[in-house]
Amino acid sequence: MNFFSHRQTNLLRARAAAFALAASASAFAADYVDLRRIEPIDGDAAAGAQKAAVCFACHGPNGNAIVPTFPKLAGQRADYLYHRLDAFKHADPKDPYVAQLPMLAIVASLNDIDMRNLAAFFAAQAPIAAAPAVAAPAAAEGETIFKQGDPARGVPPCAGCHGADANGVAATDSRQYLAWPALRGQNAAYVISRLNNFRDNLPHSSSNDFIMHGVARTLDDGSIQAIAIWLASLSPQPAH
Ligand code: HEC
Ligand code: HEC
């Protein structure tokens, strides 16, 4: 059997093309991945289950992380999960931000098929609320920014890309949206840390990272916190 599926080969080609692009446009990191025209991943959830136990230590039972600094994986889009794993796998270990990520050691022992299978497994798990919903006053402000944005500050409505119910946009019309994540019910501390990283342009390895860098640089600390509190207060549902 050919080890590389045609999908993997396409991805490698995209990487090579991106490398050529990087040579002429130094604004892009060398291992820049274009996620605008990806194929849906084709993982085997049952095979993924065989490798998932090690993940539960940080991401909680079946991917429902209890410790709020870790992201929940249960019910997230499989394509998003796979491309995040692939990004960790190809991240530059010499980059100081990358070097401190616990995921680096985790992906070292996974091959491409394992990552597809794990993504399919976690996407198929029922998401559950880790803690009772928080009803902080800031949540109302977060909901407004999420749904309407803030034109005065150049903040786009998050709902345009993450869905009106924060559960992702239907990816049936265009492959462009396949790896766009659902956010509903995600842990607040993780969302705050990730938005801060996007704002600082970390990580910076895919076309999707660049999209979120542009969004996050319009957000101040108060907005980030309000949005995160509102998202965490929503009852989780599997992503669209
Ligand atoms: C030692 C703790 C630890 C273990 C074990 C671990 N992870 Fe992670 N994982 C993290 C942390 C921390 C992050 C957040 C990284 C960041 O901020 O970008 C993360 C992020 C992720 C993400 C990105 C989630 C998102 O919403 O963007 C995926 C996917 C993921 N891990 C999958 C896995 C899988 C699959 C396993 C098991 C094979 C695993 N992790 C094991 C700590 C861990
Ligand atoms: C133009 C489309 C677009 C808009 C608008 C947008 N996002 Fe995103 N968002 C994305 C994409 C694409 C990703 C995936 C980035 C990646 O893979 O690194 C993402 C990722 C995220 C993540 C990371 C999720 C995870 O599990 O790690 C968070 C949090 C997030 N966005 C929050 C927001 C918020 C809050 C807003 C509104 C202020 C917003 N986004 C507006 C496209 C968008």
pTM for the model: 0.90
CB of 113 within 8 A of CB of 2? Answer: no
| Residue 40 token pair | 């849906």
Per-residue model confidence (pLDDT) at position 39: 87
d(CA 182, CA 169): 8
Evaluate: CB of 156 within 6 angstroms of ligand 2: yes
Residue owning tokens 């990806």: 38
Is pLDDT of 176 > 80? Answer: no
Counting ligands in written order, the one closest to the CA of 199 is 2
Q: Is the CB of 49 under 6 A from ligand 1?
A: no
- Nearest alpha carbon, ligand 1 atom 31: 103
Return d(Cα 15, Cα 12) in angstroms, integer. Answer: 5
The per-residue pLDDT for 1 is: 35
Q: Which residues contact 140 (CB under 8 A, 6 or more apart)?
A: 230
Sketch out the chain's domains with CATH numbers. 6-123 (1.10.760.10), 138-233 (1.10.760.10)
Give the dihedral sign, CA 150/221/63/120: positive
**H/E segment holding residue 209:** helix 207-216
Orientation of helix 188-199 relative to helix 207-216, angle to 10°: 100
Query: What's the gap in Å between 3 CA and the centre of ligand 2?
Result: 32
CA distance 23 to 113: 30
CA distances for 57 relative to 62, 110, 143, 231, angstroms: 10, 17, 31, 23
CA distance 25 to 19: 10
Rounded distance between C-alpha atoms, residue 238 and residue 168, angstroms: 10
Mean pLDDT of the region 166-172: 82
Atom of ligand 2 nearest to the CA of 160: 5
End-to-end CA distance of the chain: 33
Q: State the Cα–Cα distance between residues 53 and 196, nearest whole angstrom.
A: 29
Q: To the nearest whole number, what is the mean pLDDT of the chain?
A: 85
Q: Name the residue among 228, 226, 239 with its Cα closest to residue 182.
A: 239
- pLDDT reading at 209 higher than 70: yes
Between the alpha carbon of residue 32 and those of residues 8, 139, 169, 238, the distances in Å are 15, 35, 24, 29
Look at 157-161, 198-202, 203-207 and tell me which has the smallest mean pLDDT: 203-207
